[in-house]
Amino acid sequence: MSLKGQNILVTGASKGIGFAIAEELLRQGARVGVHFYSGKEQANALVAKFGADRAKALQADLSDNGTVPQLFQKALDFLGHLDSIVLNAGVFTPHSTDMEVDDWFKIWKQTLAVNLDSAGLLTKLALDHFKEQKAGRLIYIGSRAAFRGETEEYLAYAASKGGLTSLARSVARSFGKSNIKSFVIAPGFTRTAMAEQFIREYGEEKVLGEIALNQLTEVTDIAPLVGFMCSGAMDHATGTTIDINAGSYIH
């Protein structure tokens, strides 16, 4: 499969799932805007590997909505136009209900600002752009948590991913006639740096006990599907959610 000629922005692309997605898209021939917040070294590693004509590291703090339009414009300045946007950036910050209300709500607001508000604003910007060029794809990296819930320490995370899922479906339903497609990929527990805190606290055996397979999902299990979506081969699945959760719904 070749993505040559495709221009794609990936948010949260300096680590974990986002890094694997950006690397896979570049490997398949796309040009990629590699968004990062603090992982400059990792983002630049992709630029060095694939070349400055193919990839560019784009810094933005997505908890600050004022920087989101700037990120979008920087991606356009580099790529010229966008064919797809992969909305992957997210935080997974615990905020136990045992916390004081103000401290708990601060984490709630920060989580939704990154996971949902920035995605909503990027969606609006993308829709304006895609309507003008009469085509485009939005790929949202959701979560199993949107469908089965999360533990009490991660209420904001689950809520944000539920909102993201509804947003993606609404885009697919509302803009399909404008040749704009929208998809959700909903991973289960995936081995990333973001998940290591959970593993340290609860142990890997607890996570393995919730799935049907013998191994945790890896980021490389998710990335090829994004490439397939960006290729256009799944356009008639617009609005769908693809679960990659190692059979944890049926286990």
Residue 157 bears catalytic tag: yes
Q: Which of 82, 91, 77 is nearest to 119 (CA)?
A: 91
- For residue 251, the model assigns a pLDDT of 59
Which residues partner with 56 through β-bridges? 33
Residue whose pair of structure tokens reads 């527990």 in the numeric block: 189
Q: Is 241 left (phi over 0), alpha (psi -120 to 50) or beta?
A: beta
Instruction: Find the domain containing 207 and state its range.
Output: 7-244
User: Cα separation of 25 and 21, whole Å?
Assistant: 6
The amino acid sitting at 140 is Y
The amino acid sitting at 98 is D
Q: Which of 15, 239, 62 is nearest to 140 (CA)?
A: 239
The amino acid sitting at 198 is F
What's the mean pLDDT in 154-178?
A: 98
- Within 8 A by CB and 6+ apart from 24, the residues are 220, 223, 224, 226, 227
- For residue 132, the model assigns a pLDDT of 97
In degrees rounded to 5, what are phi and psi of residue 27? -60, -35
- Within 8 A by CB and 6+ apart from 33, the residues are 7, 8, 9, 10, 55, 56, 58, 74, 75, 78, 79
Confirm whether 251 is domain-assigned. no
Residue whose pair of structure tokens reads 């979008």 in the numeric block: 72
What's the mean pLDDT in 157-183?
A: 98
Confirm whether 207 is domain-assigned. yes
* CA count, 13 A, side-chain hemisphere, 198: 21
User: Which tens digit of pLDDT belongs to each residue from 106-144?
Assistant: 999 999 999 999 999 999 999 999 999 999 999 999 999
User: Which tens digit of pLDDT belongs to each residue from 189-205?
Assistant: 898 876 777 788 888 88
- For residue 202, the model assigns a pLDDT of 80
Active-site annotation holder among 37, 154, 157, 249: 157
- For residue 204, the model assigns a pLDDT of 82
What's the mean pLDDT in 37-60?
A: 97
pLDDT of 249 > 90? The answer is no
Burial bucket for residue 103 (CB in 10 Å: 0-12, 13-18, 19+): exposed
Residue whose pair of structure tokens reads 């809520």 in the numeric block: 159
CATH number for the domain that contains residue 68: 3.40.50.720
What's the mean pLDDT in 233-239?
A: 98
The amino acid sitting at 40 is K
Residue whose pair of structure tokens reads 């919730």 in the numeric block: 210
> Over the range 13-41, which residues count as b (16 or more CB within 10 Å of their CB) and which as e?
bbbbbbbbbbbbbbebebbbbbbbbebee
pLDDT of 42 > 90? The answer is yes
Confirm whether 1 is domain-assigned. no
Count of the separate structural domains present in the chain: 1
Confirm whether 107 is domain-assigned. yes
User: Which tens digit of pLDDT belongs to each residue from 204-227?
Assistant: 888 888 888 988 899 999 999 999
SS3 65: helix
Confirm whether 249 is domain-assigned. no
- Within 8 A by CB and 6+ apart from 198, the residues are 92, 189, 207
- For residue 31, the model assigns a pLDDT of 98
